[in-house]
């Protein structure tokens, strides 16, 4: 094998929400606690079974259940499926411990979602003969210290490391060096290449392209003529293992806190989109409160099935860390911005951050708003101790904004 210029690890938690929920339940002695060993999904509301699948067990996957599909479809595939509502505050805490542990190994770390990160581990070649052995030690440390498993992909760039981490799961280490591409990556279905969605896959299929190797060998100009210059060039490079993006240093916290999700099935209606936004708002709100920030700018990001990425944002009169407010604002922004083009990605970002300590008081601050802040804090505490369903936000049940979204979903 040629001398490697860089060594990049992509570390991905195996079924993160399901693993973290299982640990949360086992710590409290809940019946059927380890969801990883039974047909189970995270998502929706237990009492009315609305919403989407956020995570699934390996057994649930055997029934054909997919992340991102409606709960009702999952029930049709497996009527006895156990549905568990997510505890987002708990997931944020475990994610923070996960990233903190990884920071022991390198200062060059890029967290890209709540459950995955890239590490530039090039320096270990100076004292370690085997990157694989080093990665195996990290996996074991994560399991012994935090109780959940991860997959680690090793390569000389981020794209190949991510592809490698998606190989056989769970609790595995895989390499994908450039000289391993013909054997390990090119035989894979083209839909497994990062950034190749359903629309692009269908276009490639019409061109006779079914594997990543066939895409890699395809005439680049022909590909560009069908998929556009930027996107066509990107996936052609990816198919050939080319990626020049560096592992970035951690962002300055004050830049913002956000979360996004890429769905395997295109979202075409507001009700489903709003369920996704609710899940994202729970995570963003919990992170704001956990880190002691208020946000005065909320933005919603979308990416459609042609990979066009746009966003819509609003400045707030009063900074907030309230899940209910973030969700309500996100729903309004989406309604104003989205033209019903099928969506592949939804995201919420809270920026223009300030701390509670230095927050400028508004003339609109009232005893009622202060009580709401205290209530949010109390809700976090109760949910952390007794579970998500121990208390519900009245704003999620009776909010006019949510009701209006459901009523107007066909007339945006």
Q: What angle do CA 110, 116, 118 make, to 5 degrees?
A: 35
Asked if 248 is an active-site residue, the reply is no
In this structure, the number of other CB atoms found within 10 A of the CB of residue 252 comes to 8
Closest CA to 71 of 39, 41, 37, 33: 41
Q: How far apart are CA 191 and CA 202, in angstroms?
A: 9
Query: Which residue in the list 21, 90, 116, 301 is annotated as catalytic?
Result: 116
Q: How far apart are CA 31 and CA 26, in angstroms?
A: 8
Residues catalogued as catalytic = 116
């Amino acid at each position: 094998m040629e001398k490697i210029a860089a060594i990049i690890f992509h570390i991905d938690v195996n079924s993160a929400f399901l693993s973290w929920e299982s640990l949360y339940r086992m710590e409290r002695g809940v019946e059927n606690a380890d969801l990883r060993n039974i047909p189970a999904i995270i998502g929706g509301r237990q009492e009315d079974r609305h919403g989407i699948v956020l995570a699934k067990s390996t057994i649930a996957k055997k029934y054909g259940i997919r992340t991102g599909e409606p709960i009702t479809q999952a029930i049709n595939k497996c009527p006895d499926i156990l549905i568990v509502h997510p505890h987002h505050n708990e997931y944020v805490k475990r994610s923070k411990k996960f990233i903190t542990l990884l920071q022991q190994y390198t200062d060059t770390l890029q967290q890209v979602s709540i459950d995955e990160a890239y590490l530039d581990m090039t320096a270990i070649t100076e004292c370690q003969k085997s990157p694989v052995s080093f990665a195996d030690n990290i996996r074991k440390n994560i399991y012994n210290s935090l109780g959940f498993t991860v997959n680690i992909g090793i390569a000389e760039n981020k794209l190949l490391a991510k592809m490698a981490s998606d190989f056989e799961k769970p609790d595995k280490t895989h390499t994908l060096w450039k000289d391993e591409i013909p054997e390990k990556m090119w035989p894979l279905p083209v839909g497994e290449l990062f950034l190749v969605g359903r629309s692009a896959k269908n276009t490639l299929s019409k061109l006779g392209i079914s594997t990543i190797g066939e895409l890699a060998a395809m005439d680049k100009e022909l590909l560009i003529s069908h998929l556009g210059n930027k996107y066509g060039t990107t996936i052609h490079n990816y198919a050939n293992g080319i990626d020049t993006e560096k592992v970035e240093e951690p962002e300055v916290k004050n830049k913002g806190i956000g979360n996004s999700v890429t769905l395997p099935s295109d979202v075409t209606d507001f009700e489903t989109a709003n369920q996704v936004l609710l899940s994202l708002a729970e995570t963003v709100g919990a992170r704001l409160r956990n880190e002691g920030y208020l946000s005065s700018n909320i933005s919603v990001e979308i990416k459609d099935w042609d990979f066009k990425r746009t966003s819509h944002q609003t400045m707030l009169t009063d900074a907030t860390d309230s899940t209910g407010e973030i969700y309500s604002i996100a729903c309004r922004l989406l309604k104003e911005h989205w033209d019903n083009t099928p969506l592949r990605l939804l995201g919420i970002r809270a920026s223009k951050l300030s701390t509670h300590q230095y927050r400028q008081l508004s003339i609109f601050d009232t005893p009622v708003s202060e009580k709401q802040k205290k209530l949010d804090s109390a809700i976090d505490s109760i949910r952390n101790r007794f579970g998500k369903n121990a208390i519900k936000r009245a704003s999620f049940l009776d909010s006019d904004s949510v009701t209006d979204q459901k009523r107007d979903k066909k007339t945006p």
